[in-house]
């Protein structure tokens, strides 16, 4: 994919993803009026967990607490029970407690709006930080998860080995007007059509733009 073709790719993606459900963190953002704290906790829960499980766990947890102060009052085992069976639920419960403690002590109970500050929180990496900044605060950022990393490389738009490297390159190459929406577009496409193994290339509307890097088998 050539640089000038990214505009066509984004237009197609905006149209195509309408048939699939919105990623869970986006749903939480809309329903909570973009509450940065709920977005942050939902993102932590979503790591290595399917959206349906994340949504159900978040609903149970947020029925008990919706602020750092009230969340910190919950016993650790209560949080564990609420979020089970998300992946690594015991580790995530501990991280949620520690995040709330740091938010109260270091940020007056508010979620910081910068990536550099967010990654200082326990269990928060650059993917989570970028998602909170872009969805929660509508500030420029590029959330690179495995779908964004894989598809951007499959297109031939970038050539990188890790999501971290992909973020760096995309910050240089991707037009800034697409930074905030890039993850929202590629995640549902990667979950439903541009699969890791045997992608559905026969029904993909981006075949003329895609270099199919690394694709050895498709449907």
Interval 181-215: pLDDT, tens = 999 999 999 999 999 999 999 999 999 999 999 99
Confidence tier at 20 by pLDDT (50, 70, 90) = very high
Token readout for 162 is: 């890790």
Distance CA 61, CA 79 (A): 7
pLDDT of residue 215: 96
pLDDT of residue 48: 87
Q: What is the mean pLDDT of residues 101-110?
A: 97
pLDDT 10s digits, 33-89: 999 999 999 999 998 899 999 999 999 999 999 999 999 999 999 999 999 999 999
**In CATH, 35-137 is 1.10.340.30:** yes
- Residue ranges of the chain that CATH labels 1.10.340.30: 35-137
pTM beyond 0.95: no
Q: Which own/partner contact pairs does 137-142 have at CB distance under 8 Å and 24+ positions apart? A: 137/34, 137/36, 137/113, 138/34, 138/180, 139/113, 140/176, 140/179, 140/180, 141/115, 141/179, 141/180, 142/167, 142/170, 142/171, 142/174, 142/179, 142/182, 142/183
Pair 111, 104: CB distance under 8 Å:
no
Burial 74-86 (b: 16+ CB within 10 A, else e): beeeebbebbeeb
Distance CA 192, CA 50 (A): 13
- Which segments of the chain does DSSP mark as H helices, in order? 6-16, 24-31, 36-46, 51-62, 68-72, 76-83, 89-107, 115-118, 126-131, 137, 146-155, 163-173, 179-192
pLDDT of residue 90: 96
pLDDT of residue 181: 94
145 catalytically annotated: yes
- Residue ranges of the chain that CATH labels 1.10.1670.10: 3-20+142-203
Q: Backbone phi, then psi, for 59, in 5-degree steps? A: -60, -45
Confidence tier at 107 by pLDDT (50, 70, 90) = very high
Phi-psi region at 88: left, alpha or beta (left = phi > 0; alpha = psi -120 to 50): left
Please say whether the dihedral angle defined by the alpha carbons of residues 194, 199, 202 and 208, taken in this order, is positive or negative. Answer: positive
Average pLDDT, the chain: 96
pLDDT of residue 66: 97
Q: Which member of 145, 159, 205, 211 is catalytic?
A: 145
pLDDT 10s digits, 132-175: 999 999 999 999 999 999 999 999 999 999 999 999 999 999 99
Q: Which member of 35, 127, 211, 217 is catalytic?
A: 127
pLDDT of residue 124: 94
127 catalytically annotated: yes
Distance CA 129, CA 118 (A): 6
Q: Which of 2-6, 37-41, 46-50, 115-119 has the lowest mean pLDDT?
A: 46-50
Protein fold of 3-20+142-203: Endonuclease Iii, domain 2 (1.10.1670)
pLDDT of residue 100: 98
């Amino acid at each position: 994919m050539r640089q000038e073709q990214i505009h066509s790719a984004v237009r197609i993606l905006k149209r195509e993803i309408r048939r699939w459900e919105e990623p869970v963190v986006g749903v939480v953002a809309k329903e909570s009026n973009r509450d940065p704290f709920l977005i942050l906790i939902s993102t932590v829960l979503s790591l290595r967990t399917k959206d349906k499980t994340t949504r159900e766990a978040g609903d149970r947890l947020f029925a008990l607490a919706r602020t750092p102060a009230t969340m910190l009052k919950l016993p650790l085992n209560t949080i564990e029970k609420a979020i089970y069976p998300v992946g690594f639920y015991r580790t995530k419960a501990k991280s949620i407690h520690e995040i709330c403690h740091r938010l109260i002590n270091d940020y007056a109970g508010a979620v910081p709006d910068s990536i550099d500050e967010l990654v200082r929180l326990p269990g928060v990496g650059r993917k989570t930080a970028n998602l909170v900044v872009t969805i929660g605060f509508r500030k420029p950022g590029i959330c690179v998860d495995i779908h964004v990393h894989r598809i951007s490389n499959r297109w031939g738009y970038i050539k990188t080995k890790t999501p971290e490297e992909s973020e760096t390159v995309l910050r240089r190459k991707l037009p800034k007007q697409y930074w905030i929406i890039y993850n929202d577009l590629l995640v549902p496409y990667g979950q439903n059509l541009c699969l890791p193994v045997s992608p559905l290339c026969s029904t993909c509307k981006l075949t003329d733009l895609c270099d199919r890097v690394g694709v050895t088998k498709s449907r």
